[in-house]
Structure 1
Amino acid sequence: MPVLDWFSVLYTMAENTIPEPSDEGFTYRVNEQITLFSMSGNQFYKYRWQVLYLGEHLATMLTHTKNEKFVRKGVVKVDFKNHLLYTGMLWQFYDELTGSLNLQFKNVSRVDIAIDGLDHIIRFVNKYLKQTRQNKVVELVGRGTIRAAALDRNTMLYHSFKLGANGSRKQVTIYNKTKEIIKSQKDYIQKFWKANGIHFEELPLAEMLAALKKGEDEPMNVAGVKNIFRFELRLTGEYIQEMQVKKAETGEWEFFKIDWLKTSDGMMSIVHRACENFFEFVLKTYKENCKCKRLELIPFSKFEIFPIELQPVKRADDLYKTKLSIKKNVRQLFFGVLQPSDYMATEALVFDVNNYDLKEWFAKNLFTWFKELEYSNPDADYVQTVKDFLIDINQRFESNQEHEILI
């Protein structure tokens, strides 16, 4: 059963919904259930708030941006506490918090989806890494490299693996969760295991931690108990924002919805898409991986997986940079740095205008650029050649025949 292990969300909030605190320790009562307790902020936000629900700290909220170049005004971030994610009360609290403050969902900042009890994956990946070039029968699809850590010298097996770089848009980690909860004392996770049939024996975590500190137990693999291994997928908001599904009834595309995280089927559909050509293995029976049989290490067949596609999102800052790039190319044409006969100049202009659908913007600004730049080059004939060249491109944009220039 999948579960959220990290959940951070960005929202927009109306100005003055939350007052600016007069000092650290300021308390703001939202309603009878929710109270905010102020603390110092970070490099992006002025204030950090403990969000208390009936007196229990269930989330941390960052408000009042310091610099709008990095975080837009009105954008707030909420980090939901780890223990809340395992209680079954997450979505009730989520709805009450967002409803009370009228928070409008903007995007997920980060989400980690964990699947416990897939102990066979540890054995599989160990065997995969022990292959040689001569006896390889299983291959990892994609260009990633699995990094192994935590070698148990008694068994010569690794107990921790990572795929994907730190700070990348997605990352997979596989590790011994039993050892981790002993060190972190997260008793609520083993209660979650028991409630969901993953592990029925509750461990005396405090006593086991004391034993580990005294060196009475092997920290790599906890002796005397069943060790539960975790598969964990970490996704950034940038990756989540590109996810979309096609509605069967209308054929329209629908971008990520928070509801996808509310069900096991939704979470497993996200995991399925993120693992595609990333954490995916094939039996190496053909030279081309696309012809080889895929191995199902994660039990996707037990869930109703809906197909998710990725559609890169054009960000506002990318659009701004593209407009600057187009204007720079136009200026360089007038200055003679680029020539109308230069294929690369034409290709760059056509690509940028088409990629961001800037045909109207290009036409609107064209004669403004002519007035601004026509005296930048003393060669009047050359300047007229540049104007004719740009007018020709614009006419082809208007008739959707710009591709003919690149033939």
Structure 2
Amino acid sequence: MDIQVANYDSDRDLEAVKRLWHEIGWMRDNSDAEHQLLQTELSLGQVRVARIDDVTESIALGANAILQYLDTELPLAAVTGVATGRVARKKGLARRATARLIADMAAEGAALSMLGIFDQGYYDRLGFGTGSYDHRVAVQPQDLCVPLPKSTPRRLSSTDWEEMHACRTRRMKRHGYVTFTSPAATQCETIRSDYFGFGFSDAASGELTHYLWCNTDDLEYGPYQVMSMVYENYGQLLELLGTLKSLEDQVQLVTLVEPPDIQLQDLVSRPFYRLATLKEGKFGTGIRSYAVWQARICNLHACLQQTQLECEPLRFNLELTDPIAEFLDEDQPWRGVAGQYVVTLADESGVEQGKVADLPTLTATVGAFTRLWLGVRPATGLAATDQLNASPELLTQLDSALRLPAPSWDWRF
């Protein structure tokens, strides 16, 4: 069995990719819209395939994006899709194709990589660490304690994707937010005809300022699932929530991800009563939490150079392991970030290779250190549950230095 990992070639690979997308359920049918969606996904950025005996059986898709880290921005390699056909599972194809994709994008300047997960554990072997929780809220529109919008929203459809993308790049940004550089990333979300939106525009310029993008299996009663909620300030957020409330006469339920810095329970009447009476079934209400994304650092120097912390300067040795090299060819220029480093955390942080004898030492996998650096969990917590170890004194100092807001992932891919 000959396995090869290579760049995607449309003439050679497209038909095989269509087949495996059908097999895993990503392509619903042979409609023009489904083919357009596939082609748009493939055009977003770099694509790598894995072939068995010259037949394409696995694919990894990437796109250039930007990660908001506190008040700075970092170049991000977004892994937008990984798929393997039915006959080629458990052969390591997906990991090899994904590792090659990450390595190539890291060599071109990506400071870190992120992806959505189908379950926890699979991508740990490529150095990824689990992100923070999303709070997914299911609420009856009539229970939203917000005013109805004073103006009437405009309808949004698949033809508005460029305007929606421009609006999205101007949105309020929080720690951990991802922004794709290509407008095609927004276009991908609008191609299927069962998606729809509500938007508001600036009265003077006509420019789209905030919007909701939704889908549902039942237009009459819902549930309506909010896929994107884009806004520049909290007044606009309340107007979008008021738009959802305006559906209360007919729509039985809406679901959405809780925005960062907001506790939606503040805006819901009698949440525990609804939970007790409507806990189960199609229209069950409540709040559930899941961690559905992972991240890993690809350039330790770039990440720490952009780290500005309000803390007393803290220096320590870092012994970092990175498993991704196992899935890369020997001649790959970028082979992960494993090594020994001296890290400084301060208002001007930094890192250099080496080891200083009289400094305390932190040992960690790249996934665990990424979680620490992003603020997913404090060092003392990660020492208990992840592969991160140091003296109690250093762990406590890291807790104090890296007091960050939980990273939010509002652009899902």
Q: TM-score, normalised by structure 2?
A: 0.27
- Name the larger-Rg structure: 1
Normalised by the length of structure 1, the TM-score is 0.27
Instruction: Name the structure with the higher helix share.
Output: 1
Q: Which has the higher contact order (CA 8 A, sep 6+)?
A: 2
